[in-house]
Structure 1
Amino acid sequence: MAAPIRHLNPWMRFAVVAGPGLVVMLADTDAGSVITAAQSGAQSGYRLLLLQVVLIPILFVVQELTVRLGVVTGHGHGHAIRKYFGARWAWVSVLTLLVACVGALITELSGIAGVGALIGIPGWLSMVIVVVGLTIMAVRGSFLSVERIALAVGLFECVFLYVAYKAGPDLHLAMTQAFDVPVRDSAYLYLVAANIGAVIMPWMVFYQQSAVVEKGLTVADLRAARWDTAIGSVVTQVIMGAVLVAAAATIGRTATGQSLDTVQQIAQAVTPFLGEINGTLMFALGMIGASLVATIVLTLTAARTLGELMGFNHQLAQSPRQAPWFYGVYVLTLVLGGLLVASGVDLVRLSVGVQVMNALLLPIVLGLLFMLARRALPEPYRLKGVYAVVVAITIVLTAGLGLCAGIAGILS
Structure 2
Amino acid sequence: MRRVRTFDINHILNRGYQSTSYFKVKHFFNVWGPGLIVMLADTDAGCLITAAQWGYTMILPQILLIPVLYFAQEMTVRLGIVTKKGHGELIREYFGKKWAWISAGTLAISAIGALLTEFVGIAGVGEMFGISKWITIPIATVLLIAIAFSGSYRRVEKVGVMIGLAELAFLVVVVMVKPQLGDMVRGIGTIPWHNSSYIYLVAANVGAVIMPWMIFYQQGAVVDKNLGMESINKEKHDTFVGTLVTQGIMLTFVIAFAATMGLQHQQVALETVSDLASGLSAFIGSYPAKLFTGMSLLGGSLVAALVVALAGTWGVTEVLNWKHSLNEPLQKGSIGFYIIYCLAHIIGAILVLANINLVNLAVSVEVMNALLLPIVLGFLLILEAKVLPEKYRMHGDYRWLVTVLCMVVMGFGLYMVGPIMGIW
TM-score in terms of structure 1 length: 0.91
What is the deviation of 1:271? 4.5
Task: Please give the root-mean-square deviation of Cα atoms over the aligned residues, in Å.
Answer: 2.6
How far, CA to CA, are the matches of 1:130 and 1:52 in structure 2?
30
How far, CA to CA, are the matches of 1:193 and 1:386 in structure 2?
26
* 1:211-222 to 2 correspondences below 5 Å: 211-222=221-232
Q: Secondary structure at the match of 1:47?
A: helix
Judge conservation of contact 2:34–2:238 (CA < 8 Å) in 1: yes
Judge conservation of contact 1:194–1:355 (CA < 8 Å) in 2: no
State the match for 1:374 in structure 2: 385
How far, CA to CA, are the matches of 1:95 and 1:171 in structure 2?
47
State the match for 2:349 in structure 1: 338
1:314 to 302, 314, 324: 324
What is the deviation of 1:207? 0.1
State the match for 1:389 in structure 2: 400
Q: Structure 2 unaligned segments of length 5 or more: list them.
A: 1-19
2:127 to 110, 117, 132: 117
How far, CA to CA, are the matches of 2:384 and 2:195 in structure 1?
37
Residue 299 of structure 2 corresponds to residue 285 of structure 1: no
What is the deviation of 1:340? 1.4
Q: Secondary structure at the match of 2:182?
A: helix
Q: 1:55–1:314: structure 2 CA closer, same or farther, 3 Å change rule?
A: same
Residue 277 of structure 2 corresponds to residue 267 of structure 1: yes
Can you list the C-alpha shifts for 1:271-291, whole angstroms capped at 9, x where unaligned?
Answer: 443321222111111111000
2:40 to 26, 29, 32: 26
What is the deviation of 1:227? 0.5
Q: 1:354–1:274: structure 2 CA closer, same or farther, 3 Å change rule?
A: farther
Q: Percent identity?
A: 43
Letter in 2 for 1:376: V
What is the deviation of 1:345? 7.0
Q: 1:131–1:328: structure 2 CA closer, same or farther, 3 Å change rule?
A: same
State the match for 1:364 in structure 2: 375
Q: Secondary structure at the match of 1:217?
A: coil
* 1:90-109 to 2 correspondences below 5 Å: 90-109=100-119
TM-score in terms of structure 2 length: 0.88
Q: Secondary structure at the match of 2:227?
A: coil
How far, CA to CA, are the matches of 1:103 and 1:66 in structure 2?
23
Q: 1:350–1:214: structure 2 CA closer, same or farther, 3 Å change rule?
A: same
Can you list the C-alpha shifts for 1:329-374, whole angstroms capped at 9, x where unaligned?
Answer: 1111101101111244799999899678644532111111000100
Q: 1:402–1:303: structure 2 CA closer, same or farther, 3 Å change rule?
A: closer
How far, CA to CA, are the matches of 1:352 and 1:194 in structure 2?
14
Can you list the C-alpha shifts for 1:273-320, whole angstroms capped at 9, x where unaligned?
Answer: 332122211111111100011111011111121111102222111122
Q: Secondary structure at the match of 2:284?
A: coil
State the match for 1:3 in structure 2: none
Can you list the C-alpha shifts for 1:167-212, whole angstroms capped at 9, x where unaligned?
Answer: 2323322222223222232211221122124421110000000000
2:247 to 226, 234, 237: 237
Letter in 1 for 2:400: V
Letter in 2 for 1:301: A
Q: Structure 1 unaligned segments of length 5 or more: list them.
A: 1-5
Letter in 2 for 1:97: L
State the match for 2:153 in structure 1: 143
Judge conservation of contact 2:109–2:365 (CA < 8 Å) in 1: no
Letter in 2 for 1:37: A
User: In terms of mean alpha carbon deviation, does 401-410 or 243-252 score higher?
Assistant: 401-410
How far, CA to CA, are the matches of 1:135 and 1:401 in structure 2?
34
Residue 91 of structure 2 corresponds to residue 81 of structure 1: yes
How far, CA to CA, are the matches of 1:18 and 1:346 in structure 2?
41
User: In terms of mean alpha carbon deviation, does 151-160 or 276-285 score higher?
Assistant: 276-285
Higher gyration radius (CA): 2
What is the deviation of 1:10? 6.2
Residue 409 of structure 2 corresponds to residue 398 of structure 1: yes
* 1:9-48 to 2 correspondences below 5 Å: 12-38=26-52, 40=53, 44-48=54-58
How far, CA to CA, are the matches of 2:99 and 2:237 in structure 1?
31
Q: 1:406–1:257: structure 2 CA closer, same or farther, 3 Å change rule?
A: farther
Q: 1:265–1:331: structure 2 CA closer, same or farther, 3 Å change rule?
A: same
Residue 185 of structure 2 corresponds to residue 180 of structure 1: no
Q: Secondary structure at the match of 1:259?
A: coil
Q: 1:81–1:69: structure 2 CA closer, same or farther, 3 Å change rule?
A: same
Q: 1:224–1:351: structure 2 CA closer, same or farther, 3 Å change rule?
A: farther
Judge conservation of contact 1:154–1:290 (CA < 8 Å) in 2: yes
How far, CA to CA, are the matches of 1:55 and 1:10 in structure 2?
32
How far, CA to CA, are the matches of 1:368 and 1:26 in structure 2?
24
How far, CA to CA, are the matches of 2:330 and 2:30 in structure 1?
27
What is the deviation of 1:404? 2.9
Q: Secondary structure at the match of 1:153?
A: helix
User: In terms of mean alpha carbon deviation, does 86-95 or 290-299 score higher?
Assistant: 86-95
State the match for 2:17 in structure 1: none
1:168 to 159, 178, 189: 178
Judge conservation of contact 2:86–2:219 (CA < 8 Å) in 1: yes
Can you list the C-alpha shifts for 1:204-229, whole angstroms capped at 9, x where unaligned?
Answer: 00000000000000111101100000
State the match for 1:196 in structure 2: 206
Q: 1:107–1:208: structure 2 CA closer, same or farther, 3 Å change rule?
A: same
